[in-house]
Amino acid sequence: MEKAIIVAIADNYAIGRANALLWHLSDDLKYFKKVTSGYPVLMGYMTYKSIGRPLPGRHNIVSTWYPFDAPEELDVVFSLEECFSHARKYFNDNGIRESERKVFVMGGGETYRQALPTADTLYITHVHTVVEDADTFFPVIDPAIWKVESTTPVAVDPETGYGYEFTIYTRK
């Protein structure tokens, strides 16, 4: 089972402020949907709370120590390893071939920090700005551990003026 992380990060690795995204980039949201559709997605409780509902077209798993009234279509787990066990069960129950088994970690900051040491692939949207007042950051991507598999040319978002590119990293 491939363990992937998907995130949009600023040049200073900022990813959030006050439990909210730092920008709204239409192409990034479309990319996220395209890449994660049909796969299990793991998120922390605060990320789930900020979205407010399970994401359609994906098996949603929330990792939390905080008990809450979860909708039936949401798996609630208490550790990252339990999340991966739920994803394996989902794959087995649905007869998904080993070569197609991928789970996406989609936030937030603490969940990314825990998942990075065991991740196989990073789907990073590099947003070319610096957010000084951010309060949540992605861990530094160490080039001794990660290699660039592919990257797109820099595009510019017409609403924000931010340049961005989609980069896929694989573990060396």
Question: What pLDDT, in 10s, does the model give residues 135-157?
Answer: 999 999 999 999 999 999 999 99
* 156 bridge partner residues: 163
Residue 59 banded pLDDT, cuts 50, 70, 90: very high
What mean pLDDT comes out for the span 113-142? Answer: 97
State the average pLDDT for the chain.
94
CA distance 31 to 166: 9
Q: What is the pLDDT of residue 69?
A: 83
Global pTM reads 0.95
CA distance 105 to 116: 9
Gyration radius (Cα) of the chain, Å: 16
- Residue identified by tokens 């551990």 is 145
